[in-house]
C-alpha cells in the first residue's frame, strides 16, 4: 500500500491526550461489535527497552481489507454521528502525533472465517530508507480448519508477503514472524492491539509521555506547574482535577468519557477510569428559571 509521504508529518502543536482520545473513541465504537473494554498501558520495546504506548480492545477486530483502509489516508469508516471514531483519518494523525511508528495487530471472525492481520506505519523506516512515498507493509493469516492453525494468506504472491514480513521483522519491535504472531496470544477470538513506539521527545530532550511518575497513570512530562509557593497549597492545587487534567490522562479521560455503556471499561494501567462529573466540583451553583411558552401551551419551568 503506497501513500504520499507529506501526509505523515505530525501536527506537533496538537494536544497529546486528544491524540490518545482518538484511539479510545475507536475502541468505544466497537461496543456495537461486542467490545467490553479498552486497555491503555505502557509497553516495553523488546529491541531496546524503550517505553511505548499500548492501546488494546476486544472489539470485532478488522479483516484484511478493513486494516488497509484503517491505515490509508483519506479513508473514514464513520457511518453516522453515533460513531465517534471508527478509523477515520484521526487514527493516522493521532498515532503519528504520539510517536514515529505504530504497529497494529487485529483479529476478526467476519464471515465465519477467522483472520489475523498485522500492519506497520513507520516514519522511521520511511526516513531511513529514503522512501518518497509511504509504504505500509501488511501481512495476513487465515485460520485453516484442516490443520487447526493460522496459515499465511497471500493476497498477491509469496514474494510480496515475504517482503512485507521482512520489513515488519526489521522495523517493528518484533524480530521474527514467531514474535509477531505471539502478540495475538492475549487478543482472544477478536480484537485489536495498537502499539505506538519511538515516542516523541519534548524540547528538553525528555519523552513527552511520562510512565514513571505515577504507576497508575500516564502523565505529560513537565506539565505539572508550580502554581503556589507554599508546599501545602501547591499540593492541594495540583491535586484538583481541573489542574490535573492538563497533565494526567486518568483525569482527562474521567471527564471526557463521563458516559460510556455500563458494560464497557476504560482500563488505564490496570485500573478502571472512573467517570468524574465536573458539576460536582462547583462551589457556587446557580439555577436559572426558564419558562418557555410554546403555541399557547402552559408554561413549563426548566432549570
Please give the domain boundaries of the chain with CATH numbers for all domains: 2-199 (3.30.565), 209-281 (no CATH)
The answer, yes or no, to whether residue 257 has pLDDT greater than 90, is yes
Q: What is the DSSP letter of 110?
A: G
Task: Report pLDDT for 12.
Answer: 40
Tell me how far apart the alpha carbons of residues 80 and 15 are, in angstroms, rounded to a whole number: 25
The answer, yes or no, to whether residue 80 has pLDDT greater than 60, is no
The answer, yes or no, to whether residue 43 has pLDDT greater than 90, is yes
Inter-residue contact 241 to 249 (CB < 8 Å): no
Q: What is the DSSP letter of 258?
A: S
**207-229 pLDDT, tens per residue?**
999 999 999 999 999 887 644 44
For the chain, helix, strand, coil in percent to 5 are 30, 25, 45
How many angstroms separate the Cα of 73 from the Cα of each of 28, 69, 293?
Answer: 22, 8, 49
Inter-residue contact 108 to 123 (CB < 8 Å): no
Q: Give pTM, 2 decimals.
A: 0.83
Task: Report pLDDT for 226.
Answer: 44
Nearest to 195 by CA among 39, 28, 8: 39
Task: Report pLDDT for 225.
Answer: 60
The answer, yes or no, to whether residue 241 has pLDDT greater than 90, is no
Task: Report pLDDT for 284.
Answer: 73
Residues 6 or more apart whose CB falls under 8 angstroms from that of 207 comprise 51, 199, 200, 201, 221
- Residue linked to cell 465536573: 278
Tell me how far apart the alpha carbons of residues 121 and 102 are, in angstroms, rounded to a whole number: 5
**155-209 pLDDT, tens per residue?**
889 999 999 999 999 999 999 999 999 999 999 999 999 999 999 999 899 999 9
Mean residue pLDDT of the chain comes to: 84
Task: Report pLDDT for 75.
Answer: 42
Nearest to 55 by CA among 175, 171, 193: 193
Inter-residue contact 39 to 47 (CB < 8 Å): no
Percent of all residues in the chain with a pLDDT value above 70, rounded to a whole number:
80
Amino acid at each position: 500500500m503506497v501513500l504520499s509521504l507529506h501526509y505523515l508529518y505530525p501536527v506537533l502543536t496538537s494536544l497529546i491526550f486528544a491524540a490518545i482520545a482518538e484511539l479510545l473513541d475507536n475502541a468505544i465504537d466497537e461496543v456495537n461489535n461486542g467490545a467490553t473494554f479498552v486497555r491503555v498501558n505502557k509497553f516495553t520495546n523488546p529491541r531496546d527497552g524503550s517505553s511505548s504506548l499500548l492501546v488494546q480492545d476486544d472489539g470485532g477486530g478488522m479483516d484484511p481489507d478493513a486494516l488497509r483502509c484503517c491505515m490509508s489516508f483519506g479513508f473514514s469508516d464513520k457511518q453516522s454521528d453515533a460513531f465517534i471514531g471508527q478509523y477515520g483519518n484521526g487514527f493516522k494523525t493521532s498515532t503519528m502525533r504520539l510517536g514515529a511508528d505504530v504497529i497494529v495487530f487485529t483479529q476478526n471472525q467476519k464471515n465465519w472465517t477467522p483472520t489475523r492481520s498485522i500492519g506497520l506505519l513507520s516514519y522511521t523506516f520511511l526516513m531511513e530508507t529514503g522512501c518518497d512515498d509511504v509504504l505500509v507493509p501488511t501481512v495476513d493469516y487465515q485460520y485453516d480448519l484442516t490443520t487447526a492453525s493460522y496459515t499465511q494468506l497471500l493476497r498477491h504472491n509469496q514474494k510480496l508477503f515475504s517482503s512485507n514480513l521482512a520489513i515488519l521483522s526489521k522495523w517493528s519491535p518484533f524480530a521474527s514472524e514467531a514474535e509477531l504472531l505471539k502478540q495475538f496470544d492475549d487478543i482472544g477470538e477478536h480484537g485489536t492491539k495498537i502499539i505506538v513506539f519511538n515516542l516523541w521527545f519534548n524540547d528538553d530532550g525528555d519523552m513527552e509521555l511520562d510512565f514513571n511518575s505515577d504507576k497508575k497513570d500516564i502523565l505529560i512530562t513537565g506539565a505539572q506547574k508550580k502554581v503556589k509557593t507554599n508546599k501545602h497549597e501547591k499540593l492541594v492545587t495540583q491535586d484538583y482535577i481541573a489542574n490535573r487534567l492538563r497533565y494526567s490522562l486518568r483525569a482527562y479521560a474521567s471527564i471526557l468519557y463521563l458516559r460510556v455503556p455500563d458494560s464497557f471499561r476504560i482500563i488505564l494501567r490496570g485500573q478502571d477510569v472512573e467517570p468524574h462529573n465536573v458539576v460536582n466540583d462547583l462551589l457556587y451553583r446557580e439555577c436559572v428559571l426558564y419558562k418557555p411558552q410554546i403555541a399557547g401551551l402552559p408554561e413549563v419551568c426548566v432549570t
